[in-house]
A and B are shown apart, each in its own frame.
Chain A
Amino acid sequence: MTLSWKYGGLALGLAFFFAVALVKPIGVSTQFVIFDGILWNAVDSTAVVADETAKSGYSSPNAYLDANGGKYASAVADPLNYGFFFVIAIMVGAAISGWLRGSFREANRFMPRVWLANWGETPVLRFLAAFGGGFLVLYGARLAGGCTSGHMMSGMMQTAVSGYIFAAGAFAAAIPTAMFLYPKEA
Chain B
Amino acid sequence: MEILLALLLGAAFGAALDRAGATSPDLIIGMLTLRVLHLAKAILLAIGVASVLMFAAQMAGLIEVGHMSVKAAYIGVFFGGALLGLGWAISGFCPGTGLASAATGRTDAAVFAVGGLAGAAAYMLTFPLFDGTWVLADLAGGKSTVGAVPGLDNPALLEGLRGDLVGIALGAVFVAAAFALPDRLTGGHAKMVPAR
Contact = CB atoms under 8 A, between A and B. Distances in A.
Interface of A: 1-26, 28-29, 32-33, 35-37, 39, 62-65, 67, 80, 82-83, 85-99, 101, 103-104, 106, 109-115, 126-127, 129-163, 165-175, 177-179, 181-182, 185-186
Q: Which of the four size classes fits the interface of chain B?
A: 35 or more
Contact of B79 (A63, A169, A171): A169
Contact of B118 (A14, A135, A156): A135
Interface in B4-46: 5-27, 29-30, 32-35, 38-39, 41-46
A5 B98 CA distance: 20
Given A89-B14, A137-B119, A158-B54, A2 B104 contact: no
Nearest to A139: B119
22 contacts: A5-B20, A6-B42, A9-B49, A12-B17, A12-B46, A20-B68, A65-B124, A97-B15, A98-B105, A109-B107, A111-B108, A112-B25, A133-B89, A136-B84, A137-B95, A137-B119, A152-B43, A157-B54, A158-B70, A159-B51, A159-B170, A177-B89
A67 B127 CA distance: 10
B32 A90 contact: no
Contacts of B76: 143-145
A26 B96 CA distance: 10
Contact of A9 (B15, B20, B91): B20
A86 B21 CA distance: 20
B176 interface: no
B96 A148 contact: yes
Contacts of A160: 70-71, 73, 143-145
Nearest to A148: B94
Given A153-B43, A165-B81, A9 B98 contact: no
Interface of B: 2-3, 5-27, 29-30, 32-35, 38-39, 41-51, 53-54, 57, 62-63, 67-74, 76-109, 111-125, 127-128, 130-131, 135, 139-141, 143-147, 149, 157, 163, 166-167, 170-171, 174, 178, 187-188, 191-196
B24 A137 contact: no
A63 B93 contact: no
B26 A89 contact: no
A64 B136 CA distance: 13
Contact of B15 (A87, A94, A152): A94
B6 A89 contact: yes
A56 B71 CA distance: 20
A145 B130 CA distance: 12
A98 B54 contact: no
A142 B135 CA distance: 13
B51 A109 contact: no
Contact of A159 (B6, B16, B71, B147): B147
